[in-house]
């Protein structure tokens, strides 16, 4: 998961270099890295959430994970949309629509890269391999950190 989060940070950092003359070929590496990151993060995240709970509570873990993904996505979408509109409207009278749009998109990329960098550090810190050892006490299993 940490490798996937690192790919996401790298991808969004590449997307912060957008300017009015940027073509599709320059967008491709950033978008590819971000797409690879989704594959490297989502499946292990689900596995970690399921492994951290007793089998009887796997449905609850799945629901909480889905809710957290949706809530975090909504919050980040709202923040990035507000930032985009602010930068674009502020820059448009000075530099024109194309440059203002590119500046706003780059600013949004910086916000996303920052959020993803925090997520990368948290993933590195709290998600560890279980080492294949079965849990000793099923009642205390839900108190562990997420394990793969």
Tens of pLDDT along 24-43? Answer: 888 899 999 999 999 998 88
Give mean pLDDT, residues 37-59: 83
For the chain, give the percent of residues with pLDDT over 70: 86
Has residue 136 got a pLDDT over 60? no
136: three-class secondary structure by DSSP: coil
Separation of alpha carbons 60 and 71, rounded Å: 16
Q: Report the greatest alpha carbon distance in the chain.
A: 65
For position 83, what pLDDT does the model report?
94
Which residues are within 8 A (CB) of 100 and not within 5 positions of it... i.e. 6 or more apart?
87, 88, 89, 90, 91, 92, 94
Q: Which of 10, 18, 32, 14 is nearest to 104 (CA)?
A: 18
SS3 category, 147:
strand
Taking the CB of residue 104, how many other CB atoms lie within 10 A of it?
Answer: 22
- Write the pLDDT tens digit of every residue in 69-90: 899 999 999 999 999 999 999 8
C-alpha–C-alpha distance, residues 52 and 48, integer Å? 6
pLDDT tens digits for 5-19?
A: 999 999 999 999 988
Of residues 86 and 128, more confidence is placed in: 86
């Amino acid at each position: 998961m940490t490798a996937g989060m690192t790919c996401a940070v790298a991808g969004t950092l590449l997307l912060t270099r957008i300017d009015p003359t940027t073509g599709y070929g320059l967008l491709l590496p950033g978008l590819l890295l971000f797409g690879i990151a989704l594959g490297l993060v989502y499946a292990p995240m689900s596995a970690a959430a399921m492994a951290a709970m007793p089998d009887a509570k796997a449905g609850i873990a799945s629901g909480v994970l889905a809710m957290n993904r949706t809530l975090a996505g909504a919050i980040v979408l709202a923040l990035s949309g507000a930032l985009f509109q602010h930068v674009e409207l502020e820059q448009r009278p000075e530099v024109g629509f194309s440059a203002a749009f590119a500046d706003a998109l780059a600013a949004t990329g910086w916000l996303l890269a920052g959020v993803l960098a925090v997520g990368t550090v948290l993933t590195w810190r709290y998600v560890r391999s279980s080492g294949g050892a079965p849990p000793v006490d099923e009642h205390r299993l839900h108190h562990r950190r997420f394990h793969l």
